[in-house]
Amino acid sequence: MKLFKIVSGVTLASLFVVSGALSGCASASDGAEPASANQSGWEVLDDTSQPLELCIPPRSDVFSTVTVANGPFGTWPSCPEYCPAGSYVYEAFTQHEANQGSGDDTALNGIWLVCRTADSGNFAKVIKSKIGSWGSKPLFGDGSNDLSRYQRCTPQQVNNVIIGAQMKIEGALSSGDDTAANQLTVRCLDRSTIAVKPQPTNWGSLTPEIQCPNGKAVCGLRTRVENSQGSGDDTALNGLQLVCCKFPYVVPG
């Protein structure tokens, strides 16, 4: 673990952590914990073998990042993927490989989220961060997004946005087939939940539900994924962080 403070006279903490702004944007190696800020507000990088990369959010209302799950395998990408300014996450889809029987299971491979504008609910973008190689993707044959496959918070109103999530994840096994992440449930502003489908596997245990701070909503994500192990044991999705942005509507406490 190493504490980075000054580069050419510029305090990195002032770039990473400003009024609770996004932290955790440095590269991480397999098995490394995600970056976090210590009590003094400095950015702590748990893997110093990787180069430091600055993550400049493409919007000014980013408030914080919350970690929903952090499994034992894979890498975090250097930076999250964000919704465009003025938009937030309203819908979700899980890329999931079905039970392989006696074969190698990877279970949950990816999380795809739909961003919509908060003023009109118009479609803005699909974000997914890093995804695994297996499972059905929510795409048409031409590669465009099939929005009918996503699940949306209901009632479908511009103020009913996703504010948190919970995962079912399997820890490292001493022997047997590791799968890591298996299921995703998201929390909507109206306090309803969505068990995001498909959910064909059920290994592991539930994480605590993690929500954005009051007055904030999900506006991005970063996922920890193990790359293909060839003839080895694959797990694909291992971790999830949600980016929280200031929301123009009051989120109940």
153-167 tens-digit pLDDT: 999 999 999 999 999
One domain for residues 100 and 172:
yes
What element of type H or E holds 13? helix 12-16
Among residues 65, 59, 88, the alpha carbon closest in space to that of 159 is found at 88
Residue 53 confidence (pLDDT): 54
Which are the contacts of 39, defined by CB distance < 8 A and separation ≥ 6? Answer: none
Length of the chain, in residues = 253
| Mean pLDDT computed over 234-244 | 94
One domain for residues 76 and 109:
yes
- What percent of the chain has a predicted confidence (pLDDT) above 70? 77
Is residue 12 in a domain?
yes
Amino acid at position 209, single letter: E
- What percent of the chain has a predicted confidence (pLDDT) above 90? 60
Structural tokens at position 214: 């009051």
One domain for residues 138 and 33:
no
Q: What does the DSSP 8-state code read for residue 145?
A: B
Q: Is 164 helix (H, G, I), strand (E, B) or coil?
A: strand
- For residue 2, pLDDT over 80 is answered with no
One domain for residues 46 and 162:
no
One domain for residues 128 and 21:
no
The torsion defined by the Cα of 54, 55, 57 and 62, in degrees rounded to 10, comes to -100
Is residue 253 in a domain?
no
Structural tokens at position 182: 């298996």
Per residue in 186-204, pLDDT (tens digit) is: 999 999 999 998 888 989 9
Q: Alpha-carbon distance 199 to 179, whole Å? A: 13
Residue 11 confidence (pLDDT): 32
Domain span at residue 147? 66-246
| Mean pLDDT computed over 65-90 | 96
What are the C-alpha distances in Å from 95 to residues 40, 88, 89, 220?
Answer: 38, 20, 17, 17
What is the CATH number for 173?
Answer: 2.100.10.20
One domain for residues 26 and 76:
no
One domain for residues 22 and 109:
no
Is residue 38 in a domain?
yes
Is residue 145 in a domain?
yes
Residue listed under structure tokens 């096994």? 173
One domain for residues 73 and 105:
yes
- For residue 33, pLDDT over 70 is answered with no
Q: Give me the number of domains the chain comprises.
A: 2
Residue listed under structure tokens 């039970």? 99
